[in-house]
């Protein structure tokens, strides 16, 4: 059975404000650990009225405080937006508050538009030093050396595990070179999934953190009692992707009966290219889709986005996904024969 984890968008909807979105994320994490999900990640997005996780480390603290065992982390922190020292201080603090439960995924993109990059006071060229910044950040989590003049307090010695995130082969090369686990964002950029995994695995160099490649694959999955119900729930995410191509950054929309009434052909084509690896349907459909994806990619773990508008329906989606994955394991388990 492949490990399952959750990437939560902390969606602000037409009916839920930012506090409600953060509380819903916390509630989902508490349920998810009972359903045996391994991790619960949130991502850094700025200037997006529909996403409440811009202050990512604070959101992580809120979520981790409402759960007990599930790993909680960033998927990811957009490191070009920050000094590595600041991120080390934030995540070192989280590691002291929630020992053994904090992950730090790192991305190279700014997570926003160029106007907002200027508002963040970061240069667009900051991403050019991403590999060096990762190494600097990693060093801050090591025990402080005698005479070390700059320390990330209280991060030193916490050894917070780092992940490299990517939507192209650049991150795959870096994760392989540094011997770090790699997460590919095929939930919105599926085109380079297989080439990136091949680069990562073929070039991987063992490190103190990881002795062999470990690949996580991001995937959109929505489960409901029937295929038709799941497809209707999916229209919320389809509308969000259509809005990207309209330059709109609004709140999450409730599902509709016919997505074709919302988007134009010009919006549909690129949106569906981004969503092409989505798995949408009943538990049976979802189980078959998970099995096929793992067989194709050899993924060690799936990071699931289930962008469902209604919180109770989203909880049910993740519950059904977990059950479908468990059913795969039972079906593949060897059966005993009587003699």
Which pLDDT belongs to residue 227?
98
Hunting for tokens 């388990």 — which residue is that? 333
Which pLDDT belongs to residue 113?
73
Mean pLDDT per block of 10 residues along the chain (339 residues) reads 96 96 98 98 95 97 98 96 97 98 93 78 82 98 95 98 97 98 97 98 98 98 98 98 93 97 97 98 98 98 98 98 94 60
- Cα torsion 28, 32, 37, 42 to 10°: value is 10
Question: Where are the chain's structural domains?
Answer: 1-160, 219-301+309-332
Which pLDDT belongs to residue 336?
52
Pick the CATH number of 1-160 from 3.30.1490.20, 3.40.47.10, 3.20.20.30, 3.20.20.140: 3.20.20.30
In this structure, the number of other CB atoms found within 10 A of the CB of residue 260 comes to 12
Q: How far apart are CA 115 and CA 338, in angstroms?
A: 69
Q: Are 192 and 268 in contact (CB under 8 A)?
A: no
DSSP designation for 293: H
Which pLDDT belongs to residue 142?
97
| Listed residue (202, 212, 215, 174) closest to 297, CA to CA | 215
In this structure, the number of other CB atoms found within 10 A of the CB of residue 73 comes to 27
Q: How far apart are CA 262 and CA 253, in angstroms?
A: 11
Question: 251, exposed or middle or buried, with CB in 10 Å at 0-12, 13-18, 19+?
Answer: middle
Question: What's the pTM?
Answer: 0.95
| 330: alpha, beta or left? (left if phi > 0; alpha if psi -120 to 50) | alpha
| Listed residue (321, 323, 313, 293) closest to 234, CA to CA | 313
């Amino acid at each position: 059975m492949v490990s399952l984890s959750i990437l939560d968008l902390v969606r602000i909807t037409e009916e839920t404000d930012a506090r409600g979105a953060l509380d819903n994320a916390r509630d989902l994490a508490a349920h998810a650990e009972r359903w045996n999900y391994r991790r619960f990640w949130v991502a850094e997005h700025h200037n997006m009225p529909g996403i409440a996780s811009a202050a990512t480390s604070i959101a992580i603290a809120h979520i981790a405080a409402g759960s007990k065992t599930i790993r909680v982390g960033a998927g990811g922190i957009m490191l070009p937006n920050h000094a590595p020292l600041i991120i080390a201080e934030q995540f070192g603090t989280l590691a002291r508050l929630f020992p053994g439960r904090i992950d730090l995924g790192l991305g190279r993109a700014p997570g926003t538009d160029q106007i907002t990059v200027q508002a963040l006071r970061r240069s667009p060229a900051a991403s050019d030093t991403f590999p060096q910044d990762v190494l600097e950040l990693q060093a801050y989590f090591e025990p402080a050396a005698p005479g070390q003049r700059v320390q990330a307090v209280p991060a030193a010695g916490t050894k917070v595990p780092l992940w490299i995130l990517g939507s192209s082969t650049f991150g795959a090369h870096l994760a392989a070179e540094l011997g770090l686990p790699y997460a590919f964002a095929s939930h919105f950029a599926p085109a380079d999934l297989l080439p990136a995994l091949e680069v990562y695995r073929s070039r991987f160099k063992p490190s103190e953190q990881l002795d062999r490649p470990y690949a996580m694959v991001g995937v959109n999955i929505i489960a409901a009692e029937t295929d038709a119900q799941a497809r209707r729930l999916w229209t919320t995410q389809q509308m969000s992707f259509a809005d990207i191509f309209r330059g709109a950054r609004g709140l999450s929309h409730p599902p509709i009966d016919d997505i074709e009434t919302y988007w134009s052909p010009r919006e549909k084509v690129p949106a569906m290219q981004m969503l092409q690896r989505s798995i949408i349907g009943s538990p049976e459909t979802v189980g078959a889709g998970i099995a096929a994806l793992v067989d194709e990619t050899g993924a060690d773990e799936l990071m699931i986005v289930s962008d469902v508008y209604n919180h109770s329906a989203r909880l049910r989606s993740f519950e059904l996904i977990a059950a479908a994955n468990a059913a795969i394991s039972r079906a593949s388990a060897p059966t005993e024969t009587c003699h």
